[in-house]
Structure formats: structure tokens, C-alpha cells
Structure 1
Amino acid sequence: MRGVVTAIGSTCILAMLLGTLSITGAASARPASQPAGHSLCMAGETRIFSCPLGAKQVSVCGAGKQAVYRYGRPGKIELVSRSMTLAEQGYSGGGETQIQVTNNGYSYILFDRTVRTGFGPDGRHDPAFSSGLLVRRGGRILSSKRCGNDASIPSLARQFMPTGNEIVVH
């Protein structure tokens, strides 16, 4: 369940295109002892974002003063990257947060978005939440997947990665 929606809101997208990405850092340790599908973070890391995508999942974890992106399954990590930035954009009634990961000409964009879908007669804002992963190459979206949970990017992500300037429109 989501916590309180901030003025900025949050949205996260990480994208993964299977079979075309190389691993930029090997993950030799198994993920921390957690239920399957929960996270690809290792013991002692801070979970920033975790999103099930069918049989696979994507996680962003705080390791020391840096974030690490992992895609795959527990025990079988397919992509690891530490090259990422955080971008935030406020909207009227919500906002979006993105973690943008780069690897070999591909961009993997995790997003967490809150938008107002209308006003009810009782004054309710009726927010809609979405999160997922976009994969891009050369500005073209190759894949877009929604998280199988209510994933969100918390404000603590700012402690582990530099701020980027651009929200990717999708």
C-alpha cells in the first residue's frame, strides 16, 4: 500500500530488453533471504525500488553511498548497472519520479507516477498510481512493462544517486 502522496508524487521506470544487454557488473552473491519476487537486493543493502515483471523482476538497491540496478531472478541476475540518475516532476494533483539507467546504448527507465483522474462530487481527487519499466534505444521505446505490485520510489533514493534533468515522456 502506498504511503502519503507528496506534492511531487513518485514514479519509477526501469527498462530491460532481454537478450540484448550485457552485464556491467557481476552479482556473485545471492539476494538477501526474502520471499521470492520480493527484491533482488543483497543482505545489508537498502531497498529503494522493487518491481515484479512476470517471471523476472527489477530492483534498485542502496549499497554504501551508491545505488545499484539489478534485473533478473534471485540467483540469476542478468543485468547490473551503477550508472543511473534520478529525475522528478510535479504535476497538478500528482507527479512522477524516474530512475534512468544506461547500459550499452540502452536506457532503462523505472517510473512511479501519480495522476489525478478527476474530481468527485465530494471533492475527492481520485488519484491513479502506476509504476513500471521502459526500455529505450536512440529515443525509441522498445518495451514498456507495468509492475505487478504497488511499487514506488521513495525520497531516500536521492541519497544514493545524482539528480538528472529530464523526465522521459511515455
Structure 2
Amino acid sequence: MNHKRTTAATLAASSVVLLAACGDKALSCADPAAVSLAQQIYQQSFDKEHASMDPERQRQVQITSKNTKVTVESITTARSDESTGNKHCSAVLTAVMPQGAIPTDQRMLNHLRGTYEPQGAALEGDTVKGSVTYTVQRTEDSKEILVTLTGHLAFMGLFHDLAMLRVFDKSEAEIAKIAGEAPPAAEAKPAEPSPAEVSPVAQPAPAVATSAPTNTAPAAASVPPPANVTADATTVTVPHLCTAAETPIFACSTGKKRASVCTGRASGNEQLTYRIAPLDGTVEMEYPSGGAGAASAFQRGSQVVQDGTAVNFLSFDKSNYRYVVYAGDGQNGRKGVVVEQSGKRIADLRCQSDALSRIDPAQLQKSGLSLDSRTLQLQ
């Protein structure tokens, strides 16, 4: 597996987009028609990137983008070609972010600055700025203005990251409030299930002893639960997001969210599934979504942390994000979910209550999970 991560802005920072408009005045970098075309180029690139996202991410980014205007400022003429009249221009894309859109975590701010400032995008207070260049020229018949724009993708990448972080780890009610939407209708909670109903591997209650009738067939032997990545088949009383056909090997509440890792079998293959949802909402993320086997979708790892205790973890990569579900030794060991972006930790969702962990490194190895040698970044 290739663990190198690069942002889209890095890969495509030199992309060139061209638009044309009519005009017969002398060319100028600050010409309203040229500036308008540069803004249109940026918006087209933004819309194209937005359309490629999954629906959930589209909604999260749109919450911020719908109330944010991008302007072209600090326009200067870098070079003028006297023979053709072409202008080579420098400018700064600017967007004032809504209240609450800038992270307060200094480590996250340092990560964003370290990622995007070398590419020409920066965060100044509540304003995102990005250095761009564009050229202005006329067509051969001098009836249209042609504009090309470069360098805008770093600005767009920083804006996207800020928009995502604004709603990260927020409940559906909090997201609706930020978006100015009506709060989601409260779902009726089902009656609290008994321990036997919660766990698909709970042992049946002992039958009442009766005298065996004559000439009856022998009782059928009880069927053991399927082999899973955990050998523990005790009753599960912790709330989780697993189906009746699955067994939770990790489950906990992080305060606003509930996270679970579930194990089961399909088509003879061992499967693991990670799910996370608001405490009173539906699942907002499930991985993997295509029923991939555990060995191809997850990795395993262990490390000793600063206090000398061992921490076991499961990890998976999704785009440039790495998710790590971890659990320290012992029933009272710390547990949670770490999220990293491009190798930098952006969240450590600590389990606060209702915690369960049956992550067994030896069993995970038997299930074919490869070793994740990357460091687990815990606070």
C-alpha cells in the first residue's frame, strides 16, 4: 500500500482554464471584463470539484460556500507584451469565511498553514487568500478577450478543508443550525432491548427442566456462533451500530457521536465494518461500502504509548484521510478514534461512556490483516 499523500491542489496547481468575452477597449489586468472572467474560471473549477464529491461532503461544503463570496483583489500587471498587447497579471483570490469557520485548535491551524502556504494560499484572521496569475489577451480578430487562470487550486483546497472542518464531529442538529435549516425531527427511540436482544451471540436462557416424554427425537445441539476476529462471545450490553448478523468488537460514545466496528461473514469471507453516527441519528459514514473483505479494507497495529501501556488499533485509509480505532490494554484503557489528514492528526475522538473493545491483535493477524507500521498519534 502506498501511504504517500498529496493534496489535489499540489497535483493540479498548474492547471490552466480559459474563458472568452467580447470587448474592444485596450487590454488591462484590472478591466472589469477580465476580472469577471477570472472569477468565472474559479467558480467553474470549484463547481467541477464539488460535483465529484459524495453527496454528504457536497452538503457539508455547500453550508459554507453558499454564504461566501470569492473576489479578485490586489491586481497588478506583472508583464506587458508590447508587440501583442497581452497582459500578464498577478492577483489575490479572497474569501471572508463565516463566523465559526476557522478552527480554534492551534495545531490544526499550523497544519493547514504548513500544507497550503508553500502553495500560495494563506489564512489571515477569518480571510482565506490565494495568490494567482492570469493572462489577458485578444483573439486574432480582436473581438474577444481571452483569460487564462493558474494557481487557484491551492486556495480552493484550503477553502474546502475549512468548510469540512467547520462541521466535523458536529451532530445533525448542530449542522442544521449552522446551515440555517430546520432542526431534524426527533426520531422515536425503540424500547431498550434486553442483553439477549442486543447481542447476536448471546447465550439462550436455560430451559425449564421437565421430564422427557417417551419416543421423542433427541434435542438438536446448539449451534455455535460463527468464528469472528474476536474469540469473545459474551453478552454485549453497550449500544452499538452493528446489525443482527454482526458482532461488535469496538463500540463507544464520544459525546456527540457513536462509533462501532462490527465483524461478520459474507460469502465465506471475514468482514469488518466501521460505522459512525450522531447519538440520536442515522449512520453518516460506513466503511467499506462495497462489502470488501477485512484483510483488504483494514490494517492492524500495536504500540506502547508514553505512559507505558500498550494500545492496539485498527486502521483504514479513505482518500487522504486515515481513520484509526484504538483501545488501550485493560477494560479501563483509553479508547477512541483518531482521524488524520495527509499524515497530520485533525481529531482524537475519545470514548466517554458505554465503551467496549475486543480488538485482538493475534486474531486480526490470523484474519489476514497486514501490519500498519505508521505511528498512532495520540495526545
The Cα of 1:56 is off from its aligned counterpart by 1.6
The offset of 1:86, in angstroms, is: 1.4
* Aligned partner of 2:259 among 38, 48, 58: 58
- C-alpha distance in 1 between matches for 2:240 and 2:318: 21
Correspondence for 2:359? 154
Query: Within 2, Cα distance between the matches of 1:63 and 1:18?
Result: 34
Determine if the alignment matches structure 1 residue 136 to structure 2 residue 337: no
Task: Specify the alignment match of 1:164 in structure 2.
Answer: 371
- How many residue pairs get matched? 133
TM-superposed CA distance for 1:161, in Å, is 6.1
Q: Which amino acid aligns with 1:130?
A: R
Structure 2: 5+ residue stretches without partners? 1-164, 169-192, 199-235, 289-296
Equivalent residue for 1:77, pick from 283, 297, 308: 283
Q: How does 1:75-154 map to 2 (within 5 A)?
A: 76-82=282-288, 83-89=297-303, 94-114=309-329, 129-149=333-353, 150-154=355-359
**Alpha-carbon distance in structure 2 between the residues aligned to 1:47 and 1:18:** 30
* CA–CA distance in structure 1, aligned partners of residues 310 and 243 of structure 2: 30
- Segments of 5+ residues of structure 1 without an aligned counterpart are 1-16, 21-31, 116-126
Structure whose CA Rg is larger: 2
Counterpart of 1:40? Answer: 241
Q: Residues 97-143 of structure 1, C-alpha deviation per residue, up to 9 Å, x if partnerless?
A: 0111222221111111249xxxxxxxxxxx97211111101111111
User: Residues 3-41 of structure 1: CA distance to partner in whole angstroms, max 9, x if unpaired?
Assistant: xxxxxxxxxxxxxx7857xxxxxxxxxxx9649970000
Greater share of strand: 1
User: Using a 3 Å threshold, how does the CA distance of structure 1 residues 100 and 76 change in structure 2: closer, same or farther?
Assistant: same
Query: Contact between 2:249 and 2:359, CA under 8 Å: does it hold in 1?
Result: yes
8 Å Cα contact 2:257/2:276 also seen in 1: yes
Cα deviation, 1:53-105, whole Å, max 9, x if unaligned, reads 12321100012111011111476111111332111235796311011122222
- Letter matched to residue 144 of structure 1: D
Please say if residues 238 and 356 of structure 2, whose CA atoms lie closer than 8 Å, have aligned partners that are also in contact. Answer: no
- Ranked by relative contact order (alpha carbons within 8 Å, sequence separation 6 or more), the top structure is 1
The whole-number CA distance in structure 1 between the counterparts of 2:254 and 2:332 is 20
TM-score by length of 2: 0.31
